[in-house]
Amino acid sequence: MRLLMLGGTEFVGRAVTEAALARGWEVTVFHRGRHEAPAGAVSLLGDRTADGGLDALAASDAEWDVVVDTWSGAPRAVRDTARLLAGRAGRYVYVSSVSVYRWPIAAGSDENHALVGGEPDADAVAYAEDKRGGELAALAEFGAERTVLARAGLILGPYENIGRLPWWLNRVARGGPVLAPGPRELDLQYIDARDLAQWVLDAAFAGLYGPYNIVSPVGHTTTEEFLKACVAVAGAADTELRWTDPSVIAEHGIEPWTQLPVWAPPGEMHDSMHRTSTEKAVAAGLRARPVADTIADTWTWLQSIGGQAPHRPDRPTVGLPPELEAKALGR
């Protein structure tokens, strides 16, 4: 198989590139040159946001079996790239997001849930609308039967450049009492970037098309399992999980998801973020590795780069300020 990866040097794109290379696929990575492409991939340089940014792709006479695109900015960038490649590639896999579903998302909702609005020709508006616009752009240029919409949920794993799991690992490594958001049996749903990558490649090889929710099955792990796995690999000798009721967290103005990454309190927010149906994707081969493996591998990677994870400038900083944590714990 011949893969064109749009991006391919960070997080999800890198996971897809490395997985394809491991399968023996021929991989071309189109990227801005800010980071080295994985060894074995052919690089084409260009910036999709700049005038003439697609010139290297236009000048190439290569053809590909599949294009994988993780773009999350202006939908018109997807439109322009897909339009250029529609006659030179067999299939377009757009890594979208469950954020394209209209809020709130009822527990158990599947790919038929109502969608937000989006325009394929638009400039960047907001994450959800941009991702939906990207979906529509890919569909318009490649057609419904040559387009896979991989609607990912929360993505974790090595190379994460948002900072959610790295923050928790560094927090437990710092030691002392750690605010652990309850209830401890609250279920969490996410996808390891490497499992997302494997599914994307399998889907392309199998000729799948249409939307799929790509996230672990509901109940894959719990808050307790997640945090205990963090402590097991990174915890200091005096690290202590202090389980804290959601009402106490709210009273202190602590923001779920951003200041307490991954976590959402029981209710509408949790149902929308951690209880999406993945039956269609699981039937099509999606597999989610154990949470302990994702956390251990992320910690190993984090240590290999000095403990400080890269951070995308277009994403907010995550994590709980130490003084706010201490106040909530009554210290």
Please spell the DSSP secondary structure of 197-230, one letter per residue: HHHHHHHHHHT--EEEEESPPTTSEEHHHHHHHH
* Reported confidence tier of residue 311, pLDDT bands at 50, 70, 90: confident
Q: Give me the pLDDT at residue 44, please.
A: 97
CA distance 116 to 170: 36
Q: Which amino acid is at 234?
A: A
Q: Give me the pLDDT at residue 281, please.
A: 98
Q: Give me the pLDDT at residue 196, please.
A: 98
Quickly tell me which residue has 């941009």 as its tokens: 130
**Averaged over 72-81, what is the pLDDT?**
97
pLDDT tens digits for range 252-281 = 999 999 999 999 999 999 999 999 999 999
* Reported confidence tier of residue 138, pLDDT bands at 50, 70, 90: very high
**Averaged over 304-329, what is the pLDDT?**
93
> Is residue 312's pLDDT more than 90?
no
Q: Give me the pLDDT at residue 222, please.
A: 98
Q: Give me the pLDDT at residue 316, please.
A: 87
**Averaged over 98-122, what is the pLDDT?**
97
**Cβ 76 vs Cβ 120: under 8 Å:** yes
31: β partners? 45
Burial class (CB in 10 A: 0-12, 13-18, 19+), 327: middle
CA distance 27 to 15: 12
CA distance 72 to 129: 10
**Cβ 299 vs Cβ 234: under 8 Å:** yes
Mean pLDDT over all residues of the chain?
Answer: 97
**Averaged over 36-54, what is the pLDDT?**
96
End-to-end CA distance of the chain: 58
**Averaged over 78-90, what is the pLDDT?**
98
**Averaged over 290-297, what is the pLDDT?**
98
Burial 293-319 (b: 16+ CB within 10 A, else e): ebbbbbbeebeeeeeebeeeeeeeebb
Burial class (CB in 10 A: 0-12, 13-18, 19+), 39: exposed
Burial class (CB in 10 A: 0-12, 13-18, 19+), 286: buried
pTM beyond 0.85, yes or no: yes
Domains of the chain with CATH codes = 2-152 (3.40.50.720), 161-189+218-274+290-328 (no CATH)
Q: Give me the pLDDT at residue 274, please.
A: 98
**Cβ 280 vs Cβ 111: under 8 Å:** yes
**Averaged over 2-11, what is the pLDDT?**
95
**Averaged over 128-154, what is the pLDDT?**
98
